[in-house]
Amino acid sequence: MRPILMKGHERPLTFLKYNRDGDLLFSCSKDDTPTVWFADNGERLGTYSGHNGAVSCCDLSRDSTRLITTSADCSAKLWNVQSGEALFTFNFNSTARSVDLSVGDKLCVITTDPFMDVASAIHVKRIAADHHDQDGESVLVLKGPKGRINRAIWGPLNHTIISAGEDAVIRIWDAETGTLLKENKTEVGHNNAITSLAKSADASHFLTGSLDKSAKLWDSRSLELIKTYLTDSHVNAVAMSPLLDHVVLGGGQDALSVTTTDHRAGKFEAKFYDKISQEEIGGVKGHFVP
């Protein structure tokens, strides 16, 4: 497998997303310009200009025609993928942290950070078929968890919303009423902030990564712990292969510690695990920061 190095961003990368067909790769970064690339050769196709702050997350519609991005400029933007035109801007009172489109692309869930007296929240927005009919009203707003909610995703068939964040608790909410349905048992959960959350292709299970140096696989309906993957460094990002029984974890020590230690000891490789046996099967080295 020939590695392709894609260079174009000026600041650290925050999020990557393939489209459903796997021919396009979308990248978010702290340089406020989301970018789209050809996945097979790494050619840069174009950028989406309009944000005034770091872009933390993105998602795109099933047919790859629309992109939605969240940013530290307290907004989320809906884009035309092909033309790069900003179709609509959702405005918030604090940083927009993450976004996930529902099955069918008619709803999206956006998380916002705590700021001053504003608590971290989960917002459900309706996505109109025609962007001229789009409005910024929230269908549902969920609050309650302490600290920052780092990620929220849709559960199976859009019936639930699954969230996780700094308080290390995974919660399942009713997407219709906003009722809190389940929280994970503390004895099997993470014991440090959950940094990332990724679901399987069929949404039947999901993976969480944490600063407690582990990743855990959960059942999306029962919130039962299925597997645990242990590593020797902080887990900042997790992903599941849509084709194979492989799990990949990325991370490393935090940026503050990097300056005081040898970068070779920072453990910045991406690690691959067998999803079933939980054994580490390989890794990719080359990065020298988290």
Neighbours of 212 (CB within 10 A): 17
Question: What is the pTM for the complete model shown?
Answer: 0.93
Residue 282 CA to residue 261 CA, distance in Å, equals 24
Distance CA 253, CA 214 (A): 13
Distance CA 171, CA 162 (A): 6
The superfamily (CATH) of domain 13-204+211-232 is YVTN repeat-like/Quinoprotein amine dehydrogenase (2.130.10.10)
Q: What is the pLDDT along the chain (290 residues), one digit of tens a residue?
A: 678 889 999 999 999 999 999 999 999 999 999 999 999 999 999 999 999 999 999 999 999 999 999 999 999 999 999 999 999 999 999 999 999 999 999 999 999 999 988 999 999 999 999 999 999 999 999 998 899 999 999 999 999 999 999 999 999 999 999 999 999 999 999 999 999 999 998 999 999 999 999 999 999 999 999 999 999 989 999 999 988 999 999 988 766 665 665 555 557 889 999 999 999 999 988 888 88
CB crowding 100-119: b at 16 or more within 10 Å, else e: bbbeebebbbbbbbbeeeeb
Q: What is the DSSP letter of 244?
A: S
Looking at every residue in the chain, the average pLDDT score rounds to 93
> Where do the structural domains in the chain lie, given as residue ranges?
13-204+211-232
- Cα separation of 131 and 150, whole Å? 28
Residue from 225, 270, 226 nearest 247 by CA: 270
Query: For 59-95, what is each residue's pLDDT tens digit?
Result: 999 999 999 999 999 999 999 999 999 999 999 999 9
Q: How far is the C-alpha of 288 from the C-alpha of 290, rounded, in Å? A: 7
> How far apart are alpha carbons 225 and 232 in whole angstroms?
21
Half-sphere exposure of 4 (CA within 13 A, CB side): 11
| CA proximity to 130, closest of 103, 105, 149, 159 | 105
Task: Residue 74: count other Cβ atoms within 10 Å of its Cβ.
Answer: 18
Q: What is the pLDDT of residue 267?
A: 74
Q: What confidence score (pLDDT) does residue 256 get?
A: 63
The first and second tokens of residue 188, run together, are: 């099997």
Using CA atoms, how far apart are residues 116 and 41, in angstroms rounded to an integer?
45
Phi, psi of 156 (to 5 degrees): -55, 130
